[in-house]
Amino acid sequence: MLSASVPNHTAFHPSTFILLGIPGMQDQHVWIAIPFCSMYLLALVGNGTILYIIVTDRSLHEPMYLFLCLLSITDLVLCSTTLPKMLTIFWLKSHVISYHGCLTQMFFVHAVFATESAVLLAMAFDRYVAICRPLHYTSILNATMIGKIGLACVIRGLVFVFPFVILIERLPFCGHQVIPHTYCEHMGIAKLACANIKPNTIYGLTVALSVTGMDVVLIATSYILILQAVLRLPSKDAQFRAFSTCGAHICVILVFYIPAFFSFFTHRFGHHVPPQVHIILANLYLLVPPVLNPMVYGINTKQIRLRILDFLTRRR
């Protein structure tokens, strides 16, 4: 009975998976972890500071800062979903992760990424209304509307990503347990299955193109309309400041989306992409934006910068 039940269990869902880390670079794991750990600490400090300042200063309880607060929360969750486990792989050689732990990590990676994409869209809409419809700004983006937008961002991420769990649960794995990655993601797990994963591929592409892709299109449209409004400003100095701010925002948005789409499409079509390149970029899109966002959206904002300087002065 035991010999019959073990193969059946192994053929369907393994009790654990093994995360290899970065294939071919295992000898350098200890050193690779240092810059990743440094960026993680910067992300924690930067986003934690932004959250503290906005929450404790009632004068900053305005739409732009409330969206920035939501962005900082998603950044903290996004990088904390993968980095601690990755560091234990690199430094402690703790490669094992439970089956359900892997699915939980996969769910949060994709759900929080989709949520952050929606938050970036909401922030682009906020800037569009502030610059192109300033007289209607407070009436459009009141407290109730901001709450509804924030809730919609979270619910959308959960709803579109939950089917990933169902699609993985239906797959048998035939004893395959080794994931050549630093964290669990949908297609990385699906590729281990000894069954047809076409539904996984189709649904993953559908979500990437219709949900995240639509966010990119709408964000681009918002910034095009913003830049058109900026070009009509009479002051060259005002135009320069607006262009520099928008340029910084666009650069961070590109850093968020380009590696993410590269990772999505590499799983499906990039059979000749070296795995090291794929995995490093897949980690960067979860880590670099949380490091840059506090600087670009927070410290680059005059009110936040003044609060930070005031806080540091009082600490002395």
H/E stretch holding 4 = helix 2-11
How far, in Å, CA of 299 to CA of 302, rounded?
7
User: Residue 83: inside a domain, yes or no?
Assistant: yes
User: Residue 1: inside a domain, yes or no?
Assistant: no
Given a cut of 80, whether residue 208 has pLDDT beyond it is: yes
pLDDT value of position 8: 46
How far, in Å, CA of 184 to CA of 175, rounded?
17
Given a cut of 60, whether residue 180 has pLDDT beyond it is: yes
Residue 187 pLDDT level (bands cut at 50, 70, 90):
very high
pLDDT in tens, 217-249: 999 999 999 888 888 877 777 777 777 778 878
- What is the tally of structural domains in the chain? 1
Give the domain range for residue 147. Answer: 16-315
Q: pTM, whole model, 2 decimals? A: 0.89
pLDDT value of position 156: 95
DSSP H helices in 271-301: 275-293
pLDDT value of position 161: 96
User: Do the beta carbons of residue 76 and residue 48 sit within 8 Å?
Assistant: yes
User: Residue 136: inside a domain, yes or no?
Assistant: yes
Q: What is the CATH number of the domain that holds 57?
A: 1.20.1070.10
Residue 133 pLDDT level (bands cut at 50, 70, 90):
confident
pLDDT value of position 30: 93
**Which residue matches tokens 């930067």?**
46
pLDDT value of position 1: 33
User: Residue 73: inside a domain, yes or no?
Assistant: yes
User: Residue 6: inside a domain, yes or no?
Assistant: no
Q: How far is CA 45 from the centre of its chain?
A: 17
**Which residue matches tokens 């949380």?**
290
Residue 315 pLDDT level (bands cut at 50, 70, 90):
low
Question: What number is the average pLDDT over the span 204-210?
Answer: 90
Question: Of 105-119, 220-234, 293-307, which gets the smallest average pLDDT?
Answer: 293-307
DSSP 97: E
User: Residue 42: inside a domain, yes or no?
Assistant: yes
pLDDT in tens, 244-277: 778 878 888 888 999 888 888 887 776 788 888 8
pLDDT value of position 255: 87
Residue 81 pLDDT level (bands cut at 50, 70, 90):
very high
Closest CA to 288 of 276, 298, 280: 280
Query: Which whole-number Å values give the CA distances from 181 to 170, 186, 191, in the listed order?
Result: 22, 12, 12
Q: What is the mean pLDDT of the chain?
A: 88
Strand 178-179 and strand 16-19: pairing? parallel
User: Residue 4: inside a domain, yes or no?
Assistant: no
User: Residue 9: inside a domain, yes or no?
Assistant: no
pLDDT in tens, 3-59: 333 344 455 788 999 999 998 888 899 999 999 999 999 999 999 999 998 898 888
